[in-house]
């Protein structure tokens, strides 16, 4: 396929056409947040920006959504399906650590039960990823199978060039069809716009295979007594994370005869998360709940779905109110794994 480039102005024109055709265009704005864009000038693509405070998962897996509504009529109960929004969703400018999360969480939403709500949005979506030129002490995409150039989860991938241009390539058949649909906005790459060069390569911090082996064998290790002792159980880390996907199903009453059954975000850092109806709680302290968070991300999900439940974006650490840094924790596990090998 011939090499193509596109200017930021033409990307904005595509955004304009999309939302004029009732598509939900999600992009990053001047406040460095993912938002539904309704004016092309809101769209800012900055490869040097820190990952947004929250990921874009809420546009695929909302914080709260109804599964059905119910209404009591004398002796019978009517169940009413919610209206599923089937609008096309186009995300523009996802960093590799955000785009990669969708195929990862798609596995759990298609495991024993196929989640139509998630799947409808995912099937109707197109992700335009963009290579990342940012790196700080919280980033570790390289250590979990990603990279600043990783195309996993993207349908079209952009690489920044000089003068507000991007090199554009399709990654999936969906991406190829998208470029064809909007081909008038793409130009042949004549090599005039030089690629923007990343300042430095991202360092490696740990060996995932060693971390996994240590986790396989150390559920009861005393490391867990202190690893999560600072954790407040606020779940900020889970809510901003692109791969955390736990939810609760609750019946919410609206008056005496009606209500809805809803799916709401939940998190393993909450003490109620595993509390049984009997009052027993198998994870009865924050240390056990923190062990669960790390083990789910770096062991259980891999055992079940052959994926690491973390893309190394670092946002859980950047936002933690007590500066509990997931990368430091995994680095400690990596060191412990080397010590146990030495014995």
The minimum distance between CB 141 and ligand SF4, in angstroms, equals 9
The minimum distance between CB 179 and ligand SF4, in angstroms, equals 29
Comparison of 193 and 295: residue with beta carbon closer to ligand SF4: 295
Comparison of 195 and 321: residue with beta carbon closer to ligand SF4: 321
Residue ranges of E strands in the chain: 4-7, 24-28, 34-36, 64-73, 76-80, 89-94, 125-130, 156-161, 165-170, 187-188, 247-253, 258-265
Helix crossing, 286-295 with 326-342: angle to 10°?
A: 80
Question: Helices marked H in the chain — which ranges?
Answer: 8-20, 96-99, 101-108, 116-123, 173-181, 208-217, 223-227, 236-240, 286-295, 301-305, 315-319, 326-342
The minimum distance between CB 77 and ligand SF4, in angstroms, equals 38
Look-up: residue for tokens 């909302």? 62
The minimum distance between CB 331 and ligand SF4, in angstroms, equals 13
Answer yes or no: are the C-beta atoms of 45 and 95 closer than 8 Å: no
Comparison of 71 and 205: residue with beta carbon closer to ligand SF4: 205
Residues in contact with ligand SF4 by CB under 6 A are: 231-237, 240-243, 269, 297, 310-316, 320-322, 324, 326
Comparison of 61 and 166: residue with beta carbon closer to ligand SF4: 61
The minimum distance between CB 231 and ligand SF4, in angstroms, equals 3
Comparison of 262 and 316: residue with beta carbon closer to ligand SF4: 316
Q: Which two tokens stand for residue 249?
A: 């199903």
């Amino acid at each position: 396929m011939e090499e193509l480039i596109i200017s930021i102005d033409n990307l904005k024109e595509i955004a304009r056409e999309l939302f004029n055709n009732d598509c939900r265009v999600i992009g990053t704005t001047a406040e460095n947040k993912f938002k539904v864009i309704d004016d092309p000038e809101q769209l800012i693509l900055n490869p040097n920006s820190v990952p947004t405070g929250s990921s874009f998962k809420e546009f695929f897996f909302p914080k709260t959504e109804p599964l059905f509504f119910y209404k009591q009529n004398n002796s019978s109960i009517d169940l009413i399906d919610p209206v599923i929004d089937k609008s096309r969703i186009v995300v523009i400018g996802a960093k590799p650590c955000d785009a990669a999360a969708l195929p990862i969480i798609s596995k759990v939403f298609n495991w024993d039960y196929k989640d139509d709500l998630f799947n409808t949005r995912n099937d109707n979506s197109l992700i335009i990823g963009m290579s990342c030129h940012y790196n700080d002490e919280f980033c570790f995409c390289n250590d979990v199978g990603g990279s600043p150039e990783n195309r996993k989860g993207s349908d079209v991938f952009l690489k920044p060039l000089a003068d507000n241009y991007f090199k554009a390539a399709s990654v999936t058949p969906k991406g190829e069809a998208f470029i064809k649909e909007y081909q008038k906005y793409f130009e042949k790459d004549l090599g005039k716009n030089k690629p923007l060069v990343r300042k430095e390569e991202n360092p490696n911090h740990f060996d995932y295979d060693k971390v996994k082996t240590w986790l396989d064998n150390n559920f009861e290790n005393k490391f867990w007594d202190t690893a999560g002792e600072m954790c407040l159980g606020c779940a900020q880390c889970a809510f901003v994370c692109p791969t955390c996907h736990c939810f609760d199903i609750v019946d919410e009453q609206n008056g005496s005869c009606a209500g809805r059954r809803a799916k709401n975000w939940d998190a393993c850092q909450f003490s109620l998360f595993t509390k049984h109806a009997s009052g027993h709680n198998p994870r009865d302290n924050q240390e056990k709940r923190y062990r669960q968070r790390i083990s789910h991300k770096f062991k259980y999900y891999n055992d079940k779905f052959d994926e690491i439940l973390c893309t190394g974006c670092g946002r859980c650490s950047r936002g933690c109110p007590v500066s509990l840094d997931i990368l430091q924790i995994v680095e400690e596990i990596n060191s412990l794994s080397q010590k146990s090998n030495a014995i």
